[in-house]
Amino acid sequence: MMRVKGKVALVTGASQGIGEEVARVLAELGVFVAAIDQNGEGLLELVKDLRKKGLQAADFVVDVGDSTAVDQLVDKIERDLGPIDMLVNVAGILRTGLITSLSDEDWVKTFRVNSTGVFNVSRSVAGRMIPRRYGSIVTVGSNAAAVPRMQMSAYAASKAAALMFTKCLGLELAEYNIRCNIVSPGSTDTPMQRSLWRGQDAAQSVIAGSLKTFKTGIPLGKLAMPADIANAVVFLLSDSARHITMHDLRVDGGATLGV
């Protein structure tokens, strides 16, 4: 059983893509969703739509790379909505290019959101979960953390950092009955994925793979949909996964060949 109804979840990167889908699925299961992002307009649309359906959600604009702002926001959520039972780290950005062409800003910004953001939010929420001796944290990573990718060095490295951080977090929090896991998507039909596409057959090219760029295709022959990732996240958050922690669940249609 999922048994998440009545709980409070904080979801970062909730204004679009995977984060939005996670927020929607959790809200539909009866969770009160604290949706956070830097994109206030997207958040507002999401929350308005959820409330129109009689679901519980609130929007909060914050830069996850700002530790002080994050800590103040977590305080506010706990004060206004109640104890945070679940955290989903989804906020992420992608800067592509050959390593020799990446700017300092590309590297720093990517790590600020994808790695430091995960650290800031997880540290703040975990500190409040520890005295309650209960909680579940899921970080949405990427299968790019497991295999080298052309022109994605900053993204892949930042996701690898978030992956190992979440595993270390899970090890340290295990004694408090707090589980920490990772869901690592492959190519998923989101705005971030579509920003990489060039030409009409871009999706099919992703599925087929490319020897030239050393990229395997997708054995299942299709892109993931955001719901595929959200369903994996919800499973790991729930009591159905009560004996799973420090696990990296790859949801990539077999693209990393089970490695």
CB 170 within 8 A of CB 180: yes
C-alpha 125: how far from chain center = 15
Choice among 60, 111, 155, 165 that is catalytic: 155
Q: Is 134 a catalytic residue?
A: no
Interhelix angle 17-28/40-52, rounded to 10 degrees, is: 20
Phi, psi of 235 (to 5 degrees): -60, -50
Residue among 43, 13, 38, 5 nearest 139 (CA)? 13
Phi, psi of 177 (to 5 degrees): 65, 30
Residue with token string 């995977």: 18
Residues annotated as catalytic (active site), given as ranges:
155
